Amino acid sequence: MEVLTPSQQEAVHPPVADATMSDLAFYHASEGKPLATPWQVAMVRAKAVAEFNLPRGVLLDCACGSGIQLAAYASQLKMPALGIELDRDRAIASCLNLNTIAKRFHTFDQGWHRRSSILAGDGTASEEVIQSVDIEAMGGISFLHLDPARPRNSRTHGLDEMQPNLSSVFQAWKPYLAESSRGPSIVLDLSPRLTDERRQEVESLVEEVWPGIERTWTWMSRGGGRVDRLELWLGNVSTKGISKRFVRLAPTVGAANSVIEQREVETTTEHHSLLTARRNEWVTILDAALVESGLADAWISEQLSTAANVRWADSSPRRPRIHHNGPLKNPHHPFVQATGRVVELLDKPLDEENIDEIVSTALENDISAMTIRMSLDASLQPKLQGNIDRQLKRRQGRRKAFLTKHTSSNHLLFCVQMGEKSDQ
């Protein structure tokens, strides 16, 4: 096990700009860039961990890759980092990235940075690590982060594909992790594609090692309806009484993120499916990542009273849609792709033959701009959207709208959006 002191390492290759923060550049080696955590994600986590009272000691990342997550933790918590990385060149990249972040926060070779080290070796070989660094003198291990490597084209997302694997890491580090009254402090950064079944497997592994430990699952999305990260926060860093959380990151670093949480004992909402679509009801297309996380009901109950009688339209997973009576409390909420009131239904397919009639219907309803929000042939979509835009621009409509299709029939729904000069 080779111990590397960050401040003594020198760069061989130039750094590469971070995807989320253009004035920051990080070092990568052995094609480690796609594995690295974007700075925005790393900082959101670090700030969230800083909300908890961590025991004294070092922050351990036992598969630290380019060390970006570790650098975010150490700089925010002002605690020394201990990174372990199998690939020696990546371990050096981790050192360089710790240096970059220390310089950014004016702590180079001081405080946490001076006491941080990176080891090139196996992150499950805890005994060897303990012999190489005097962890006791540093107050023990305060916190464990694990972001295992996964095969890029995995079909199964099986737990046995994770490198290093969860069981080996748990067994190796359990004796050394400082415990608070709520157990150890652990964040597992898992594959966003884990199925519910795999999540259960993770829970069982955790339960075997730390029976009864509290846990909070966290889904993170950077937009586009995609889940980008799935994490399990354990013990001292789990949120009391919260079993699931969905975080939609703000478009810019540092701006407020949108969060929805689900309490442990949640009454499961019955999903009424949609049979008919009616004029004057409301249609909302939701963030697909929110729906994938299983937290849509928790969010809907914040936005709509039971009197709104929510019906689910099982449209394409890309555009999950609900119908309801009455508007959302916040139609501009980041979890909303589009929301509007149905002002017209038309029993016609959306195609070139019918486009003029569709535009006339929009005009009769005082619509000035209308976005297509339904699945269409990829080559047809821009043609039809262009046609709608051109025709509406020349006329005097006042309301903004979107066009979607009812699931169980061919009806097109003209939905007028709230706000501006729209649905008054």
Ligand X SMILES: C[S@@+](CC[C@H](N)C(=O)[O-])C[C@H]1O[C@@H](n2cnc3c(N)ncnc32)[C@H](O)[C@@H]1O
Q: Residue 35 interacts with ligand X (CB under 6 A)? A: yes
Compare residues 36 and 328 and give the one whose CB is closer to ligand X.
36
CB of 109 to ligand X, least distance (A): 22
Binding ligand X by CB under 6 A: which of 39, 49, 76, 90?
90
Contact stretch for ligand X (CB under 6 A) within 3-11, 29-37, 128-136, 272-280: 29-37
Q: Which two tokens stand for residue 270?
A: 């019955």
Show the binding pattern over residues 37-66: x = contacts ligand X (CB under 6 A), - = does not. Answer: x-------------------------xxxx
Pick the binder of ligand X from 19, 149, 205, 345 (CB under 6 A): 149
Indicate the residue among 142 and 407 with the shorter CB distance to ligand X.
142
| DSSP, res 163 | B
Q: With respect to ligand X, which residue has the nearer C-beta, 58 or 328?
A: 58
- Residue 288 CA to residue 293 CA, distance in Å, equals 9
Identify the three-state secondary structure at position 272: strand
**Residue 94's closest CA among 3, 179, 226, 201?**
3
Q: What residues are paired with 114 via a beta bridge? A: none
> With respect to ligand X, which residue has the nearer C-beta, 214 or 231?
231
Q: Does 225 bind ligand X (CB under 6 A)?
A: no
* Residues that contact ligand X, how many (by CB under 6 A): 24
- Alpha-carbon gap, residue 112 to 117, rounded angstroms: 10
Nearest Cα residue to 54 out of 149, 142, 168, 132: 142
Of 68, 187, 322, 370, which lies in the binding site for ligand X, with binding defined by CB under 6 A?
A: 68
83 touching ligand X, by CB under 6 A: no
Q: Which residue has the tokens 């004294």?
A: 56
Q: How many Cβ atoms are within 10 Å of 195's Cβ, its own excluded?
A: 11
Pick from 57, 123, 235, 320 the residue near ligand X by CB under 6 A: 123
How many angstroms separate the CA atoms of 13 and 302, rounded?
50
Q: Is the Cβ of residue 124 or residue 404 nearer to ligand X in the bound state?
A: 124
Euclidean distance between CA atoms 328 and 396, whole angstroms: 28
Q: Any alpha helices (H) in 263-395, and if so which ranges? A: 288-293, 296-303, 355-364, 380-393
Asked if 58 and 141 count as a contact pair (C-beta separation under 8 A), the reply is yes
Closest CB to ligand X among 68 and 234? Answer: 68
Under DSSP, is residue 419 helix (H, G, I), strand (E, B) or coil?
A: coil
Residue 40 or 69 with smaller CB distance to ligand X: 69
Q: Which helix (H) or strand (E) holds 89?
A: helix 88-104
In whole angstroms, the minimum distance from the beta carbon of 33 to ligand X comes to 9
167 binding ligand X? (CB under 6 A): no
Among 107, 132, 163, 371, binds ligand X (CB under 6 A): 163
Q: What residues make contact with ligand X under the rule CB under 6 A?
A: 32, 35-37, 63-69, 84-87, 90, 122-124, 147-149, 163-164
